[in-house]
Structure 1
Amino acid sequence: MKKVLITGGNGFLGKILRQLLESKGFCIIASGLGKDRLKEHNHSYIELDVTNKTRCLQVIQENNPDVIVNAAAMTNVDSCEIKQKECLQINTDSISNLNISKNRHFIQISTDFVFDGKNGPYLENNK
């Protein structure tokens, strides 16, 4: 059974992904800020701030997931404008905290808040 670490497990995409992958038989380790907001599930939950590189490494080493799905993000547009540094740390810099091993798959997912919508459709290598 594949073990999947899902960051941003309390967010919109994270909660849906947790339920979907659990229903398909994957072993899920969900993480997020604060308490688990998904009431009914049969997987583990870990509080994790993705901007904390040491803690990310610890969680990855302790759980040894086959796949890491990063759904952690700061998505409120107004908050992102006001707290630009925090937004960059969560939405950009934290990716290097999670994508630390060449021996596992890393999937980055996000909502439409990430792109401006002016030049789509977008490809994986667009900046």
Structure 2
Amino acid sequence: MMTDRRSSWLELAENLAERVRTGKLQPGDRLPTENELRNSTGLSRTTVRHAVAEVRSRGLIKTVPQDGSFVLGSGGPFQLGPGESVTPSTALIVTGADGSIRTLAAGTRIVVDANGCACHG
């Protein structure tokens, strides 16, 4: 599966991130263990750890010592309405113009389109 050792960790990280983005790994799902990833890819422990650290740095997973790594999610389509704002935290808190509050999963990315509409994806 993987060829160049220097990019193997990045290829594995991209694969795991894609599985989160496409919903193959859902929020709350446990990532395969280090050993499972090593066995399925043939990569070294260090390479697998590097890949998992990369996915964690993207905000897609969290690692719980002695428990494993769990999917936080990549978020789905989400529109911010007029007067709404977003406050970064462990999760994203969206405050509506009417004072309502919504919480989005950590790792949600906010994107502003060409029309100035903010959505996450």
Q: Same fold (TM over 0.5)?
A: no
Higher helix share: 1
**TM-score normalised per structure 2:** 0.29
Higher strand share: 2
**TM-score normalised per structure 1:** 0.28
Instruction: Say which one has the larger Rg.
Output: 2
